[in-house]
């Protein structure tokens, strides 16, 4: 062998070794890339399955809230269009299986509620998602999809190994794959964002529906409230006329007492109506049903006709329950209004509250408190009973009902962990029974306000800045302040109040209405005073419940309208004492 031939052979050998090393390196790189892609594929498939489970959970919320197994089964059967879905199930909060879908008879569903899980080693991806409505977990969904089989993965990555020597093509393939993965990730992120927006919109719609149901019940009060206020105004008007026409001291005291009683009744009714109509989120608290129902007497009397008698019967030692008090009042009022409409010639409505120990109620486990409303009306047929809890179903004439009342009752009791049932026969009246789980939490003890330690009469020379836009109210409050010995100066809005303080007006306390014309309300005025004159005490007053809630949350002293002179004296004395303690 010549030297040239030996050199060529060595070059070929070196080239073969380099090529072999390059091929091995490419194959190894391909295997590493394959291993990475395997993990990414599993993670991507699991995320896609979880998104599908979340969408399914959001879709079956209404079906699960109303125990509509037919609708739930239809949602699950729709998964047949996806060949990767092997099985799916819908479970109640108790863990029981309500509806299920299996692609083949050999597929098995868990008989009890499962926790969400990741992909397992048996070729399946199993995920779960909770079904949530207004912060309450109604149940969960189960979803099992097929993972790619081992043979498919071997064939897929064998192609990568065979093409390892084609480095440029491998790079192109990997670039295309990564680009597709990025597109898939972006699509998944967009799907997650769309799902989040859908959930937020659903929550807003549910809150709007609750408020519309409450305002529908509020509309039932209008006639009775107008009648009651006309009676109260009649008492006050006639009392004032008679006071002008009599000089007998005893007679004047009787007339003054009658006028005062009418005003107090009107103020009490206004407070109940404001509390009832207030827009607030669903919030469960421990409630004494006996006291809660008894406190609804005025609302019930105003909602029903004079030919209807309301009887309230509560058993002793009732267990506490945990419900939203506002929604409870709406539910009871809706049932009472339906009972009223079922008795066009009058009758009796009996509201009864009793304890129901475990085993006394079919299909319910545990201790419950039963709140039932029974009427002596015309009753319902079996066909009507089956549909009475459906939204927008009503037997009333057009314009006399929306069909939302009893659907609110059903949704509220189910969201509270209970149940609602109706017993009725044509011509024999109806009973709507609500069951609420017994609460193990204790009722909150009422907080008694301590009496002010400072004297009620004003100190000599004590000046108050009165901020009130209504001239008649300002005159009345100014008269009470003068009677208590306070000197005062009045301005009509918050801007004028700040200008007076900035000009050096000497005042010891600011007494301001909360709702006033202009861009600055009472709370904003109080905040400005605290920032610039921190030692100047402020007392706010309002007749609006939402404004009062705002003042209470921020820690301001508040006197609710209407108030009497002794309440005004006590509040001002407490504010003086509080300011003195801070100095």
Structure token pair of residue 51:
């998104």
**75 and 140 both lie in a single domain:** yes
> Which residues form the domain of 575?
463-582
**192 and 119 both lie in a single domain:** yes
Of 555, 544, 482, give the one whose Cα is nearest residue 513: 544
Q: pLDDT at position 431, please?
A: 94
CATH assignment at residue 346: 3.30.565.10
* pLDDT confidence bin for 175, thresholds 50/70/90: low
Average pLDDT of the residues of the chain: 77
CB 430 within 8 A of CB 375: yes
**66 and 200 both lie in a single domain:** yes
Q: pLDDT at position 493, please?
A: 92
- DSSP structure class, residue 459: P
More confident residue, 77 or 233: 77
From the CB of residue 96, how many other CB atoms can be counted at a distance below 10 Å? 11
Residue 137 scores a pLDDT above 60: yes
* pLDDT confidence bin for 277, thresholds 50/70/90: low
- Dihedral sign for Cα 52, 55, 59, 65, please: positive
**251 and 330 both lie in a single domain:** no
Residue 4 scores a pLDDT above 70: no
How far is Cα 559 from Cα 552, in angstroms, rounded to an integer? 10
Q: pLDDT at position 101, please?
A: 85
Interval 197-203 mean pLDDT? 80
CATH assignment at residue 156: 3.30.450.20
* pLDDT confidence bin for 26, thresholds 50/70/90: low
Place of tokens 């407490």: 574
CB 521 within 8 A of CB 515: yes
**274 and 348 both lie in a single domain:** no
Whether cis (ω within 30° of 0) applies to the bond prior to 203 is no
Is 457 part of any domain? no
Residue 353 scores a pLDDT above 90: yes
Residue 576 scores a pLDDT above 70: yes
Is 249 part of any domain? yes
Residue 583 scores a pLDDT above 80: no
* pLDDT confidence bin for 246, thresholds 50/70/90: confident
Residue 8 scores a pLDDT above 60: no
Of 102, 113, 123, give the one whose Cα is nearest residue 45: 123
Q: Taking the C-alpha atoms of 416, 418, 422 and 423 in order, what is their torsion angle to the nearest 10 degrees?
A: -150
How far is Cα 194 from Cα 213, in angstroms, rounded to an integer? 28
**362 and 403 both lie in a single domain:** yes
Interval 2-15 mean pLDDT? 50
Of 297, 284, 427, 273, give the one whose Cα is nearest residue 351: 297
Is 309 part of any domain? yes
How far is Cα 206 from Cα 562, in angstroms, rounded to an integer? 35
Q: pLDDT at position 42, please?
A: 75
Q: pLDDT at position 361, please?
A: 84
How many domains is the chain built from?
4
H or E stretch including 146? strand 136-146
Residue 279 scores a pLDDT above 50: no
**Length of the chain, in residues:** 583
Place of tokens 């103020």: 267
Q: pLDDT at position 204, please?
A: 73
Is 458 part of any domain? no
Structure token pair of residue 219:
């509309």
How far is Cα 270 from Cα 275, in angstroms, rounded to an integer? 9
Q: pLDDT at position 241, please?
A: 75
pLDDT, tens digit, 9 for 90 and up, residues 425-479:
898 899 999 999 999 888 866 545 444 444 477 888 899 999 998 888 888 888 8
Is 443 part of any domain? no
**409 and 297 both lie in a single domain:** yes
Q: pLDDT at position 93, please?
A: 81
More confident residue, 182 or 477: 477
**308 and 421 both lie in a single domain:** yes
**111 and 194 both lie in a single domain:** yes
Is 83 part of any domain? yes
Q: pLDDT at position 371, please?
A: 95
Is 170 part of any domain? yes
**40 and 151 both lie in a single domain:** yes
Residue 348 scores a pLDDT above 90: yes
- Among 209, 233, 260, give the residue marking a domain's end: 209
Interval 486-502 mean pLDDT? 94
Residue 191 scores a pLDDT above 70: yes
Percent of the chain that is helix, strand, coil (3-state, to 5): 50, 20, 30
Residue 105 scores a pLDDT above 60: yes
CB 280 within 8 A of CB 250: no
Backbone φ and ψ of 580, nearest 5°: -65, -35
More confident residue, 116 or 104: 104
Residue 230 scores a pLDDT above 70: no
Residue 358 scores a pLDDT above 70: yes
Q: pLDDT at position 354, please?
A: 95
- Among 279, 295, 318, give the residue marking a domain's end: 279
Residue 351 scores a pLDDT above 70: yes
pLDDT, tens digit, 9 for 90 and up, residues 522-552:
889 999 999 999 999 999 988 765 666 677 6
Is 174 part of any domain? yes
Q: pLDDT at position 387, please?
A: 76
Residue 273 scores a pLDDT above 70: no
**362 and 392 both lie in a single domain:** yes
* pLDDT confidence bin for 341, thresholds 50/70/90: confident
pLDDT, tens digit, 9 for 90 and up, residues 138-159:
888 888 887 765 555 666 566 5
Q: pLDDT at position 66, please?
A: 79
**82 and 106 both lie in a single domain:** yes
pLDDT, tens digit, 9 for 90 and up, residues 291-339:
999 888 877 876 777 788 999 999 998 999 999 887 788 788 888 888 8
């Amino acid at each position: 062998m010549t030297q040239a031939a030996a050199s060529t052979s060595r070059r070929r050998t070196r080239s073969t070794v380099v090529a072999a090393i390059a091929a091995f390196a490419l194959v190894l790189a391909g295997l590493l890339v394959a291993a990475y892609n395997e993990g990414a594929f599993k993670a991507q498939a699991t995320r896609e399955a979880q998104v599908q489970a979340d969408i399914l959970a959001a879709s079956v919320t209404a079906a699960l809230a109303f125990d509509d197994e037919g609708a739930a089964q239809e949602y699950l059967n729709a998964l047949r269009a996806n060949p990767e879905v092997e099985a799916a199930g819908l479970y109640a909060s108790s863990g029981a299986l309500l509806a299920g879908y299996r692609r083949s008879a050999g597929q098995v569903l868990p008989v009890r509620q499962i926790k969400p899980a990741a992909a397992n080693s048996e070729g399946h991806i199993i995920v779960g998602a909770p079904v949530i409505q207004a912060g309450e977990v109604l149940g969960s969904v189960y979803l099992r999809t097929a993972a790619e089989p081992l043979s498919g993965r071997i064939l897929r990555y064998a192609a990568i190994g065979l093409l390892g020597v084609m480095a440029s093509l491998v790079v192109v393939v990997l670039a295309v794959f990564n680009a597709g993965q990025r597109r898939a990730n972006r699509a998944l992120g967009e799907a997650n964002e769309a799902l989040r927006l859908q959930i937020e919109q659903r929550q807003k719609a549910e809150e709007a529906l609750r408020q519309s149901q409450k305002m529908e019940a509020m509309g039932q009060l209008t006639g009775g409230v107008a009648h009651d206020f006309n009676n109260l105004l009649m008492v006050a008007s006639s009392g004032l006329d008679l006071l002008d026409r009599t000089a007998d001291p005893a007679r004047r005291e009787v007339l003054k007492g009658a006028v005062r009683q009418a005003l107090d009744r009107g103020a009490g009714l206004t407070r109940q109506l404001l509390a009832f109509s207030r827009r607030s989120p669903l919030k469960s608290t421990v409630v004494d049903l006996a006291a809660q129902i008894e406190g609804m007497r005025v609302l019930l009397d105003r909602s029903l006709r004079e030919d209807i008698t309301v009887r309230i019967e509560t058993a002793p030692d009732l267990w506490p329950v945990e419900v939203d008090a506002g929604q409870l009042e709406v539910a009871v009022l809706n049932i009472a209004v339906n009972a009223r409409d079922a008795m066009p010639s009058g009758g009796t409505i009996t509201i009864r509250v009793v304890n129901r120990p475990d085993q006394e109620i079919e299909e319910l486990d545990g201790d419950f408190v039963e709140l039932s409303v029974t009427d002596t009306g015309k009753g319902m047929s079996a066909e009507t009973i089956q549909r009475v809890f459906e939204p927008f179903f009503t037997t009333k004439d057009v314009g006399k009902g929306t069909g939302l009342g009893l659907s609110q009752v059903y949704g509220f009791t189910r969201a509270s962990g209970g149940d609602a049932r109706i017993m009725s026969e044509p011509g024999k009246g109806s009973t709507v029974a609500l069951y609420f789980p017994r609460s193990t939490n204790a009722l909150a003890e009422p907080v008694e306000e301590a009496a002010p330690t400072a004297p009620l009469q004003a100190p000599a020379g004590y000046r108050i800045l009165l901020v009130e836009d209504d001239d008649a109210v300002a005159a009345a409050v100014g008269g009470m302040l003068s009677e208590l010995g306070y000197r005062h100066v009045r301005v009509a809005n918050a801007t004028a109040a700040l200008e007076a303080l900035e000009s050096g007006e000497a005042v010891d306390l600011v007494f301001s209405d909360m709702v006033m014309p202009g861009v600055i309300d009472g709370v904003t005025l109080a905040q400005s005073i605290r920032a610039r004159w921190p030692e100047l005490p402020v007392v706010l007053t309002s007749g609006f419940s939402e404004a009062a809630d705002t003042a209470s949350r921020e820690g301001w002293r508040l006197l609710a309208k209407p108030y009497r002179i002794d309440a005004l004296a006590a509040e001002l004395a407490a504010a003086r004492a509080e300011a003195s303690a801070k100095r």
